[in-house]
């Protein structure tokens, strides 16, 4: 009973894979358009053994992690600032809301002019894209703290940093984690684009390079890797929610 429940979400993907394999074997699908799953698995295996795959993966993971750290860190810091102090909101929020409406990817020409085509440009793009979900949700979380709880904590003598640490921050945490989860999803989308512009390493580079040589199987390995990485990032975000929001029945 239990294993059935655990396997149920995988039934559809497995069925699709089987249908795909079958279609390729019969000859409905040409391998130039879509190679069979077995060929993709073989390409994965070859890349993994040669070590090429891991080098690309490492580069991409590093980019995603540092871009996320910079963008989400700045978003959290500014969100806390504008959420807590009205003056900071007055000064900064309008500007940030205007910038928010520019799609991060529209900045690509400018970013290339500013930073060239090396790592800085990619990190900048990732950081800008990741910044806003975290910023907006942090701001919202701080602002929607239950005033009754703050009033109670004040009447129990909590002021300043203890009040912030014990009441305001934990109250904003569910909202902050929503932003983090959204950003972790977004970071891969941005990474794909950033890596396909110009790169000498990374999964995006591997994929674009394979396209040049019509290696559809390697292209598919790259696409699958993004799917897996996206799923892993989502699991990480869920894990954070499960741990930090374990007091909340909705997350247990």
The site for another protein (CB under 8 A) is made up of 148-149, 151-158, 166-167, 170-171, 173, 245-249
Q: Cβ of residue 154: shortest distance to another protein, in angstroms? A: 8
Q: Cβ of residue 240: shortest distance to another protein, in angstroms? A: 14
Q: Which is nearer to another protein, 128 or 173 (CB)?
A: 173
Q: Which is nearer to another protein, 153 or 197 (CB)?
A: 153
Q: Cβ of residue 63: shortest distance to another protein, in angstroms? A: 34
For 39, 116, 121, 138, 160, the CA distances from 177, given in Å and listed in that order, are 39, 33, 27, 9, 23
Q: Which is nearer to another protein, 120 or 248 (CB)?
A: 248
Q: Which is nearer to another protein, 58 or 154 (CB)?
A: 154
Cα–Cα distance for residue pair 79/97, rounded to 1 Å = 12
Both tokens assigned to 26? 């019969």
Q: Cβ of residue 87: shortest distance to another protein, in angstroms? A: 23
Q: Cβ of residue 250: shortest distance to another protein, in angstroms? A: 9
Spell out a b/e string for 4-42, using b for 16 or more CB atoms within 10 Å of the CB, else e.
eeeeeeeeeeeeeeeebeeebeeeebeeeebbbbebbee
Q: Which residues, other chains included, contact 114 with Cβ-Cβ below 8 Å and sequence gap of 6+?
A: 121, 124
CB 145 within 8 A of CB 164: no
Sign of CA dihedral 59, 62, 64, 67: negative
Q: Which is nearer to another protein, 109 or 148 (CB)?
A: 148
């Amino acid at each position: 009973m239990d294993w059935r429940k655990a396997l149920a979400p995988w039934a559809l993907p497995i069925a699709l894979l089987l249908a795909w394999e079958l279609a390729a074997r019969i000859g409905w699908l040409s391998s130039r358009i879509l190679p069979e799953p077995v060929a993709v698995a073989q390409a994965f295996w070859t890349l993994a053994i040669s070590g090429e795959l891991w080098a690309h993966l490492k580069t991409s993971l590093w980019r995603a992690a540092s871009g996320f750290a910079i963008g989400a860190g700045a978003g959290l810091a500014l969100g806390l600032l504008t959420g807590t102090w009205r003056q900071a909101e007055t000064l900064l929020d309008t500007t940030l809301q205007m910038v928010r409406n520019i799609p991060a990817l529209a900045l690509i020409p400018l970013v290339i002019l500013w930073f060239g085509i090396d790592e800085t440009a990619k990190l900048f793009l990732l950081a800008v894209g990741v910044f806003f979900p975290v910023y907006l949700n942090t701001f919202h979380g701080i602002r929607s703290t239950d005033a009754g709880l703050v009033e109670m904590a004040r009447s129990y003598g909590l002021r300043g940093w203890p009040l912030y640490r014990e009441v305001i921050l934990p109250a904003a945490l569910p909202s902050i984690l929503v932003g983090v989860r959204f950003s972790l999803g977004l970071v891969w989308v941005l990474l794909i684009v950033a890596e396909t512009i110009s790169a000498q390493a990374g999964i995006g580079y591997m994929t674009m390079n394979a396209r040049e040589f019509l290696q559809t199987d390697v292209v598919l390995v790259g696409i699958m890797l993004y799917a897996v990485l996206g799923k892993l990032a989502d699991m990480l975000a869920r894990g954070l929610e499960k741990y930090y929001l374990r007091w909340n029945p909705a997350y247990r």
